[in-house]
């Protein structure tokens, strides 16, 4: 008799939003992760936050917050409020909230995280990022 074990989405790292987000963030030059305010948070050179995971932070939703270029928050929240939001604490500085409990386009998430990194990282790290993307 053979027994098959059904795998849940939680068993597959590809289906785990935190694992996917972690992989994207940690692929960027000199990025570190540590808990901040009880949530996984990614830093440039262990000093400057560029992405913060939000696992039901102040509500019952799953998402993350990230630095964003000027005007991006307003446009994305206005055009796609089912996918984007103005996060507490940092929303007034233009940071973007991104829901992860809806269908997610991980290529777009990679672009948003990279844009967030570009907003925070120093020029030398941006040059390293640009050099590595041409390989």
CATH number of the domain enclosing 71: 3.90.1150.30
CB 20 within 8 A of CB 109: yes
Q: Which of the four pLDDT bands, split at 50, 70 and 90, describes residue 59?
A: confident
CB 54 within 8 A of CB 37: no
Q: Please state which of the ranges 4-8, 36-40, 95-99 shows the lowest mean pLDDT.
A: 4-8
The domain containing residue 73 runs over which residues? Answer: 16-124
Q: Please state which of the ranges 27-36, 58-67, 68-77, 94-103 shows the lowest mean pLDDT.
A: 58-67
Q: How high is the pLDDT of residue 2? A: 42
Residue 133 lies inside a defined structural domain of this protein: no
Give the list of residues 6+ apart from residue 19 with CB closer than 8 angstroms, or none.
13
Residue 118 φ then ψ, to 5°: -60, -30
pLDDT top residue among 93 and 14 = 93
Residue 118 lies inside a defined structural domain of this protein: yes
Residue 135 lies inside a defined structural domain of this protein: no
Q: What is the DSSP string of 47-60?
A: TEEEEEEEESSSSS
Q: How high is the pLDDT of residue 4? A: 41
User: What is the tally of structural domains in the chain?
Assistant: 1
**pLDDT of 57 over the 90 cut:** no
């Amino acid at each position: 008799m053979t027994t098959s074990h059904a795998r849940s989405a939680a068993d597959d790292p590809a289906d785990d939003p935190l694992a996917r987000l972690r992989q994207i963030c940690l692929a960027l030059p000199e990025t570190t992760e540590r808990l901040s305010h009880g949530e996984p948070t990614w830093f440039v050179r262990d000093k400057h936050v560029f992405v913060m995971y939000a696992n039901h932070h102040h509500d019952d939703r799953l998402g993350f917050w990230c630095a964003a270029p000027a005007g991006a928050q307003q446009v994305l929240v206005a055009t796609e409020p089912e996918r984007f939001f103005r996060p507490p604490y940092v929303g007034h500085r233009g940071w973007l909230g991104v829901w992860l409990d809806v269908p997610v386009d991980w290529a777009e998430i990679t672009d948003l995280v990279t844009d967030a990194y570009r907003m925070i990282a120093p020029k030398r790290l941006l040059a390293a990022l640009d050099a590595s993307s041409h390989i």
